[in-house]
Amino acid sequence: MSLYAFSISAYKDHYGLQNVKEPFPLDVTSPVESWNAGSFQACSLDAVVNMNMIHISPWDTAIVSLFIKDRSLVARCESI
């Protein structure tokens, strides 16, 4: 686990944040179905937090992979 992931995990544990998943490495160029070992389902996330990617990644990677591929995971789903 990276130092950053360890810090996020420690913060989550310290404040007892049960609704925050543990941090994990993510290759945004891989198919969205494989993210976090395929554990995400459509509409299963409220948000995706990304730090330090857009300014260091090729534009197509940042836009296509981050904003287009993950939209099925965070899309608004009607529960009623």
Residues sharing a CB contact under 8 Å with residue 42, sequence separation 6 or more, in sequence order = 72, 73, 75, 77
Main-chain dihedrals φ then ψ at residue 4, nearest 5 degrees: -65, -45
Hey, what amino acid is at 16? G
Q: Which long-range contacts (CB under 8 A, 24 or more apart) does 22-27 make?
A: none
Would the pLDDT of 68 be above 90? no
Token pair recorded at residue 31: 């198919």
pLDDT, one tens digit per residue, over 16-61 is 999 888 888 878 788 878 888 888 777 777 777 777 777 787 877 7
Residue 80 has a pLDDT of 41
> Which of residues 75 and 80 earns the better pLDDT score?
75
Would the pLDDT of 6 be above 50? yes
